Structure 1
Amino acid sequence: MSVVRYEPAGEIGYIVVNSPPVNALSVAVRQGLLDAIGTFAADDARVAVLYCEGRTFIAGADISEFGKAPVPPFLPDVIAAIEASTKPVIAALHGTVLGGGLEVALGAHGRIGLNGTRVGLPEVTLGLMPGAGGTQRLPRAIGIEKAAEVITSGRQIGAAEALDLGILDALSDAADARTAGTAEAQRWLAEGRAPRRLSEVPAPGITDDALAALRAKVDRTARGQVAPLRALDTMIEGLSMPFPAAMQHERSAFLALMQTPERAALIHAFFAERAAAQMPVNARPRQFQRVGIIGGGTMGQGIAAAALNAGLDVTLIERDQAAADKALAGIARMQDEAVKRGKLSQVDRDAMVHDRFRAGSDYAALSESDLVIEAVFENMDVKQEVFRQLDQVCRPGAVLATNTSYLDVDQIAGVTGRPQDVIGLHFFSPANVMRLLEIVIAEATAPDVVATAFALAKAMGKIAVPSGICDGFIGNRMLLAYRTAADHLVLDGASPFQVDRAVTGLGFPMGPYQVGDLAGLDIGYATRQRKAATRDPRERVPVFADRLVEAGRLGRKSGQGYYIYDAESPKGRPAPDVDDLVAQVRSDLGLTPRSFDDEEIRDRYMAAMVNEAAKILDEGIAAKPSDIDAVLLHGYGFPRHKGGPMHWADTVGLDRIVANILSYAADDPYFWALSPLLEKLASEGRRFADLNAKSS
């Protein structure tokens, strides 16, 4: 059966796309649209309605074609054929109308959307730009500045905003797209309307000052990415050309971006996320409609909000009723903010807070919970005591999860009589916002418990990555390694502020010392204290960091750490005494400082990250390199347009990284112990990508 069919129905003809699951623009769909337009041209129908069956209008490109040479018919030609129709074509939209899907709709002569429709041109998020008329038709529909924001941000736009912008001509309360499209087509017939082609709309103009401001804004928000600025320039340049020449110009720019390292990195990131979501077990998840949470601090509240947003029933337990009431109020404030931002309706907010959430202090309230997530203080004794109590009150078969950042899940499971039901769920703060979830699989964890954890992540809209057990799992173990490399740089002569500048210059949103201030310097201090008794004598300790904490400087929460946070500089300015403090520490330790340039800082920082990642792979803590990329991209601010540390390493060359590590090891063989896996891959001329292919 054809994925696109034409249905004649008197004065109205229907072009129907049915290519599950998301009606992507495969070769078959493109050819089917072309054929259907030809059939409509020969039919007696006076107007056509283009709509899709299933859950969405055309959602974009066919991901199975990513990275492959384009195959005709090419999408610009298909859209040109739709637009050239001498009889009106109305696109009836529903679901997520993205990328090429929106470009198809812009090629139609009218657009009506169902309530709940979302549209966008997200190509820049994959290192590309619209390549089928988006940069030329959209500004003719809504103006240059609005089109530039849509194109260069790649964001999705809700139906009401799309109507206000002029992307949609009308919104419909109809139950389905066919009904909405039919009503719009009948209106066009009654009004005797002719095709309205965006390609024939005069190109809008923009002043030089407005264009300069627009370009500066895009340059600032692009953070080193190539595609957003290229898209803006292509749009502006094309609008000064005849439309056919502008289309050729757009296509050339699109194809040029297809060859960039940025595009390869962003495509890799896209597939890394999809690969991470593949469960490592073949089992059915247990039921988890009723969720319990232990601990009502920042993390516990965030997890509760994420569970409520996923439609789950939540019971939160705190040490006493006063603390429980405080947690309840905090979650209510979160949901109120979501209502203000338009992310949640007042009705849904009230249902969450009043009907599906409760907070108390009695563990017995968890007796019928399907899944309980512990989110208390990061201390083994405290967590084990919680699990002893859960073992007593929770029903048989309930999943017991610990939200630990570092601790041994096997030891936590060992205090229960049901270790098969225990798993680690490492959420990232704020848990209702951050998409990463490390799923830490203990030795005795049952397969269906693992499946339940992945199902929970999907329900919460999170990217789940499986991890084995070690101190810090995947992300925090790597964080310790590259943060240690940064500390060594400071001990040896670099300024913390220089390190931060060098790292943000690589594309990270923040440097390690800015991150430390944000998280709280006491967290790293507590970790160092926890490990002090077993510390190897060869390990170099960041004494300067301890001095700050001992002076009460904990970062943002105390108003001062490496940076000062006040009304003058709420985002922080360098504390003037930090360099003197570091200099005194070097003197106390008998260290002679030397200078580092930004390139060496970045080389050392990244080499430590990649080397530790290779060790994690070699030990089986991470299943594949792309999982590590997903963790660093979504939990640690790794620049997405570089694809993640493993993809970055492949791009730079493993042999170069190995050579750097060996040179650093001459001065510090303990920290710079080379990963055997990294050394092996480099010596064989292989890449981390080869290991991804092997595991897929």
Structure 2
Amino acid sequence: MTLIRTQTLGDVLLIEIDNPPINAGSLGVRQGLHAAIAQLTQDPALCAGVIIGAGTTFVAGSDLREFGQPLQEPQLPTVLSAIETCPKPVVAALHGAALGGGLELALACDARIALTGTVLGLPEVTLGIIPGAGGTQRLPRRTGLVRGMQMVCSGERIQAEAARDLRLVDDVVDCDLQLHAVALARKLPGKCRISEETVPHEDTDAVAQAEQTALKAGKRRPAVLAAIEAVKDAARLPFAEGVARERTVFQQLRVSTEAHALRHQFFAERDAVRLPVDAQAKPRTVDTVAIIGAGTMGTGIAIAALDAGLSVLLLEQDSAALERGRQRVADHYQGRVAAGKLQASVASGHEARLSPTTDWTQLARADLVIEAVFEDMAVKQAVFRQIDTHARHGAVLATNTSYLDVDAIAQTTSRPQDVLGLHFFSPANVMKLLEVVRGAQTAPDVLATGMALGKRLRKMPVLCGNAFGFIGNRIYNAYRKQCEFMLEDGAWPEEVDQALQAFGFAMGPFSVADLSGLDIAWRMRKAQAATRDPRERYVTILDQLCEQGRLGRKTGAGYYTYPEGRQDKTTDATVRGIIEAASAQRGLQRQPLSTAQIQRRALLAMVNEAALLLAEGVAQRASDIDVVLVQGYGFPRWEGGPVFWARQQDRAQLAQDLQALAIQSGHGFVLADLSSVLEP
């Protein structure tokens, strides 16, 4: 397959990259570009060249599949050096996206012209690496260190017009990109190498502030630290030396475990949106969404739908609750406008597509209905009977349940084939994860509609089987339960939380519980009490906290106390007394647990549950589990997810430690076969 095509347009050589779908800068692309630049150099009839992308984009990045392998020549710096040393000017014609190596390629050219709507950026840091072909050296020579550090250290993507203001592109056009690029190439007086420019002078305090901001936002990850130093090198080193240093660091980072984990997550997210063969179908058309329930979750879903350009019916049972929901949506958009993140006209347009109502007959207008009411089976079934009465034939009916049986809800309707679960995460307009739950009778085109809706809402949809807690809550439940066991065994809540935050979680499980409210879990536990095996190891600490009115932050006390007017939290004598009594009642001699022990037990519990989910068919692929935990539960992205973590462990030690965990966990712990997790 020819990845590079050349065509002479009079005295200009058109070099077209054709490596669908994103024109990734693979070895074949680099070889073709190198040969095309040689052709341009050697042909006396040619005065200039234009590099353009076929299809819908310029170059949206390098081929990540090559990053875990030895790189072959010509590597990208070799190609870019050939462009710079070519005696004839080369113009980059950008459309779609110029990202990563694509932007580095463009910056090595003598001029750049972009089609309106093009996005540009260097997202390498989000993959645990830094730009490796001069991006950290050329970009700040145009933008300055402050803006360059912001872009490189965050992976920020900017529009063509903003890139023009930063002098990253020379012109922006709204049509005939190739025609304009060829014309620009012909009129260039000669070479214009960014590498020969100097970094604009900026206030040292502003640069220092940009560095501190980047460190904080990037959690001081190795790639962020390296990116800061590389960008600063642009101002303090000759170009050749800065590029050489950049390349050395890039090569070191690309083979690191962290970069491997981030690439794993990248490919896992790409695979997650793919439906199995038996569920592949054309999605149903969705223009109007009805949301039942105007609480925090319902209004969050409404905002996500409005932001995606959908018309939204917001249905409540009484006018007061409906007005509170409508106001919540209005307050959100007013806040966005006040913060300068949204134009007032756009916000008004979104609000105009919201139709609050208490009239159930309005459901007939909806293509898709989402129930977002109280997490109680009887309540949800009652709502679905109403939906079945009023929703039009062919509408997709979705329940936003976190734990409940989707089939039990679907069976209350006359059309279970139209029912699926759409498990949003709160706040629904912010969190990216969407679990799409397949019921026993869910039609393929209904599943396809759920997945398509997730993508339209700019979320990460993951297909799940219908089982208690689906993927995410099932694993989180096992993780939380193991953390409670560790309280009885000898750890304090702050030790568990601190250990897991040190691993990379934004919050530990007990801080999360206090934030969300202990009564949520307490209510669920009471509902399950009648069916719980009395031999199962059950920790009563949370129940006792709730019985004393300690429901978390909202009551000023839960696992921690929250002194009024202070941000810090502490455990107190009451909590410690309850925990010590729980240990004594189980006959346990409390023993301190190290940070490493706490982390490993929590991770082993996740891995074991992941294997059980795969064996039960709740998750269709192991990598989906990693996507769910990273996108919805705060698992550190740079650790790849519990499945990726397990694959980095010594297998004999992993099996031995799981056996020990089973003993520590007692009756009810099911030891899984890890083969489905450990085999890629």
Q: Same fold (TM over 0.5)?
A: yes
Change (3 A) 1:254 1:162: same
Letter in 1 for 2:677: F
What is the percent sequence identity of the aligned residues? 45
For residues 133 and 611 of structure 1, what CA distance do their matches in structure 2 show?
44
Matches within 5 A, 1:247-258: 247-258=243-254
SS in 2 for 1:666: helix
In structure 2, what residue type is equivalent to 1:27?
Answer: L
Change in CA separation of 1:39 and 1:587 when aligned onto 2, cut-off 3 Å: closer
Do structure 1's residue 259 and structure 2's residue 259 form an aligned pair? Answer: no
Report the CA distance between 1:477 and its aligned residue: 1.0
Return 614-623 or 212-221, whichever deviates more: 212-221
In structure 2, the partner of 1:688 is 677
Instruction: State the one-letter code of the partner of 1:34.
Output: H
Q: Could you tell me which residue of structure 1 aligns to residue 289 of structure 2?
A: 291
Shift of 1:415: 0.9
How far is the alpha carbon of 1:217 from its aligned partner? 5.2
Moved more, 514-523 or 145-154: 145-154
- Contact map agreement 1:148 1:232 (CA 8 A) in 2: yes
The CA distance in 2 between the partners of 1:507 and 1:242, in whole Å, is: 37
Q: Return closer, same or farther for 1:176/1:492 CA change in 2, 3 Å cut-off.
A: farther
Counterparts of 1:24-423 in structure 2, within 5 Å, are 24-41=24-41, 42=43, 44=45, 46-170=47-171, 172-178=172-178, 181=181, 185=185, 189=187, 193-202=189-198, 218-223=214-219, 225-236=221-232, 241-280=237-276, 281-340=279-338, 344-354=342-352, 356-423=353-420
Residue 549 of structure 1: CA displacement? Answer: 2.9
Moved more, 203-212 or 271-280: 203-212
Contact 1:428 1:436 (C-alpha < 8 Å) held by counterparts = yes
Structure 2 counterpart of 1:30, which letter?
Answer: R
Find the residue that maps to 1:554 and give its secondary structure.
coil
- Partners of 2:434 and 2:281 in 1: CA distance: 20
Give the alignment partner of residue 618 of structure 1, picking from 615, 619, 635: 615
From the superposition, tell whether residues 69 and 583 of structure 1 become closer, same or farther in structure 2 (CA, over 3 Å).
closer
Whichever residue aligns with residue 93 of structure 1, its letter is L
Change in 2 beyond 3 A, CA 1:375/1:7: same
Partner deviation per Cα, 1:570-593 (whole Å, 9 max, x = no partner): 4x4325446434446437736542
Q: 3-state DSSP class of the match of 2:525?
A: helix
Q: Is 1:483 aligned to 2:495, yes or no? A: no
Q: Distance in 2 between matches of 1:667 and 1:25?
A: 50
Do the aligned partners of 1:662 and 1:672 also contact (CA within 8 Å) in 2? no
- The 2-side partners of 1:12 and 1:202 are apart by 30
Conservation of the 8 A alpha-carbon contact between 1:384 and 1:412: yes
Aligned CA distance change for structure 1 residues 102 and 566 (closer, same or farther; 3 Å): farther
> Aligned partner of 2:631: which letter?
H
Query: Take 1:86 and 1:264, find their aligned partners in 2: how far apart are those partners?
Result: 39
| Offset from partner CA, 1:459-491 (integer Å, 9 cap, x none) | 222222121122111110111111011111112
Q: How far apart are the structure 2 equivalents of 1:615 and 1:587?
A: 29
Partner of 1:520: 517
For residues 489-568 of structure 1, the aligned pairs below 5 Å read: 489-563=486-560, 568=565
Counterpart of 2:576? 580
Letter of the 2:285 counterpart: Q
CA distance in 1, matches of 2:204, 2:310: 52
The whole-number CA distance in structure 1 between the counterparts of 2:88 and 2:339 is 41
Residue correspondences, number: 676
Moved more, 20-29 or 285-294: 20-29
Indicate the SS of the match to 2:365: coil
Change (3 A) 1:44 1:327: farther
1:662 aligns with 659
C-alpha contact (below 8 Å) 1:439/1:466 kept by paired residues? yes
C-alpha separation in 2, matches of 1:328 and 1:217: 36
How many angstroms apart in 1 are the aligned matches of 2:559 and 2:218? 27
Give the whole-Å Cα distance in 1 for the aligned partners of 2:606 and 2:439.
Answer: 25
CA drift of 1:412 comes to 0.4
Aligned-partner Cα distance in 2 for 1:657–1:223: 29
TM-superposition CA deviations, 1:433-480 (whole Å, max 9, x none): 211111111111112211111111122222221211221111101111
Alignment-derived partner of residue 21 in structure 1 = 21
Structure 2 unaligned segments of length 5 or more: list them: none
Residues 658 and 674, structure 1, Cα contact 8 Å, conserved in 2? no
**Contact preservation (8 Å) 1:51, 1:177:** no
Residue 2 of structure 1: CA displacement? 5.0
**Aligned equivalents of 2:97, 2:162: Cα separation in 1:** 14
Is the contact made by 1:225 and 1:262 (CA closer than 8 Å) also made in structure 2? no
1:396 to 1:99, Cα distance in 2 relative to 1, 3 A: same
Structure 1 residue 601, shift from structure 2 partner: 0.9
Deviation at 1:275, TM superposition (A): 1.3
Superposed CA offset, 1:182-210 (max 9, x none)? 57557xx3xx7442212222467899998
- Partners of 1:238 and 1:250 within 8 A in 2: no
CA RMSD of aligned residues (A): 2.9
User: Residue 438 of structure 1: SS of its match in structure 2?
Assistant: strand
Give a deviation string over 1:195-237, Cα, whole Å, max 9, x none.
Answer: 2212222467899998887666555444363322233344545
Q: Which amino acid aligns with 1:277?
A: V
Q: Deviations over 1:249-298 (max 9, x none)?
A: 32232222222111211111111111111112122222222211111111
1:380 positional shift: 0.3
Residues of 2 paired with 1:32 and 1:640: CA distance? 35
Distance 1:255 1:99 in 2: 15
> Structure 1 residues 592 and 415, CA, compared in 2 at 3 Å: closer, same or farther?
same
CA distance in 2, matches of 1:342, 1:10: 48
The answer (yes or no) to whether the contact 2:149–2:211 under 8 Å persists in 1 is: no
Q: Comparing 540-549 with 274-283, which one deviates more in the overlay?
A: 540-549
Inter-partner Cα distance in structure 2 for 1:436 and 1:12: 48
Equivalent position amino acid for 2:22 in 1: V
TM-superposed deviation, 1:400 = 0.8
Q: Please identify, of 283-292 and 579-588, the stretch whose mean Cα deviation from structure 2 is larger.
A: 579-588
Cα 1:293/1:203, change in 2 over 3 Å: closer
Displacement of 1:663 in angstroms is: 2.2
Question: Structure 1 residues 567, 51: closer, same or farther in 2, change over 3 A?
Answer: farther
* TM-score when normalising by structure 1: 0.90
Distance in 1 (CA, whole Å) between partners of 2:369 and 2:502 is: 42
Aligned partner of residue 454 in structure 2, secondary structure: helix
Judge which range, 333-342 or 363-372, deviates more.
333-342
Q: Distance in 2 between matches of 1:341 and 1:185?
A: 42
Give the stretch that moved more between structures: 248-257 or 619-628: 248-257
Summarize the Cα distance change of 1:531–1:118 in structure 2 as closer, same or farther, 3 Å threshold.
same
- Measured at CA, do residues 297 and 581 of structure 1 come closer, stay the same or move farther in structure 2, by a change above 3 Å? farther
How many angstroms does 1:176 deviate by? 4.6
The residue number in structure 2 matching 1:684 is: none
Structure 1 unaligned residues grouped into runs of 5+: 682-686
